[in-house]
């Protein structure tokens, strides 16, 4: 049996976009990284082909990994902003799968600006070591939700290991002292469906190459705001 471990990622970039209800004409973004976005990033690094018959089996290996996302303040003190980009698109594919070459629609795509997040991945050591190796030398390009959203810094905060040590390294990479507690930050936890206050979103990737409506399974989360009592400034 593989030992449980933790791996931390630092997601820092001028633009990020994390959609979980993002289809057709309006492509919105959540305010925290999504599981589907993180798994998609890892899948690209590992070289998992979404058109391969084995894609679903490869993605299922990540199902045991628990993901916690943490909003990290910028050292500059700048607030996260949201940008909406306007496009017109010709030659669109309708919901029934038919492509209409002469049709044009308006589309709106949202991005987060000046955002920075920490991501804690908890799972088997051997799997996290494989993920870390892929992120150090990715087979395909990695990005934060969309191809135009490129990382500004290396993704890995360090090798996988003990959760407390990994958390400290992440904080130090982000410019903190390393002594801050998780409660000091806005964060999103994965929780059981029976957890009081749990929110349900369609955000567990099953297969990115599957038909629309079959690509994701439910995920239960809790959004926890930062505590201002008893935490360092």
Instruction: Report whether 205 contacts 61 (CB < 8 A).
Output: no
Instruction: Answer whether residue 37 is part of any domain.
Output: yes
Gap between the Cα atoms of 11 and 17, Å rounded: 12
Instruction: Answer whether residue 15 is part of any domain.
Output: yes
Instruction: Answer whether residue 90 is part of any domain.
Output: no
Instruction: Answer whether residue 102 is part of any domain.
Output: no
Instruction: Answer whether residue 197 is part of any domain.
Output: yes
50 Cβ contact partners less than 8 Å away, ≥ 6 residues apart: 43, 207, 208, 209
- Tell me how many domains the chain contains: 1
pTM: 0.88
Instruction: Answer whether residue 104 is part of any domain.
Output: no
Instruction: Answer whether residue 82 is part of any domain.
Output: no
CATH number at residue 123: 3.30.70.2660
How does pLDDT run along the chain (233 residues), one tens digit per residue? Answer: 468 999 999 999 999 999 876 566 777 899 999 999 999 999 999 999 998 999 999 999 999 999 999 999 876 566 788 888 887 878 777 767 788 787 787 888 899 998 999 999 999 999 999 999 999 999 999 999 999 999 999 999 999 999 999 999 999 999 999 999 999 999 999 999 989 889 999 999 998 888 877 888 999 999 999 886 544 44
Tokens 């567990």 label which residue? 204
Instruction: Answer whether residue 47 is part of any domain.
Output: yes
Q: Which residue range is the domain that position 203 belongs to?
A: 4-21+31-75+114-224
Instruction: Report whether 10 contacts 118 (CB < 8 A).
Output: yes
């Amino acid at each position: 049996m593989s030992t449980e471990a933790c791996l931390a990622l630092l997601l820092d970039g001028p633009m990020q976009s994390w959609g979980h209800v993002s289809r057709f004409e309006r492509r919105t973004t959540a305010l925290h990284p999504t599981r589907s976005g993180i798994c998609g990033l890892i899948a690209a690094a590992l070289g998992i082909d979404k058109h391969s018959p084995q894609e679903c089996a490869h993605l299922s290996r990540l199902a045991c990994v628990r993901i916690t996302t943490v909003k990290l303040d910028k050292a500059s003190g700048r607030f996260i902003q949201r940008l909406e980009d306007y496009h017109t698109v010709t030659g669109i594919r309708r919901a029934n799968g038919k492509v209409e070459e002469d049709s044009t629609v308006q589309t709106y795509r949202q991005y987060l600006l000046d955002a920075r997040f920490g991501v804690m991945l908890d799972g088997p050591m051997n799997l996290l070591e494989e993920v870390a190796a892929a992120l150090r030398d990715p087979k395909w390009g990695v990005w934060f939700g969309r191809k135009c959203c490129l990382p500004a810094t290396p993704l890995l905060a360090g090798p996988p290991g003990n959760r407390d040590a990994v958390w400290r390294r992440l904080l130090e990479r982000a410019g903190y002292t390393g002594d801050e507690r998780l409660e000091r930050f806005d964060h999103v936890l994965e929780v059981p469906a029976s957890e009081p206050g749990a929110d349900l979103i369609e955000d567990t990737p099953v297969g990115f190459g599957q038909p629309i409506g079959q690509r994701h399974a439910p995920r239960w989360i809790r959004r926890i705001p930062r505590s201002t009592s008893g935490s360092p400034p």
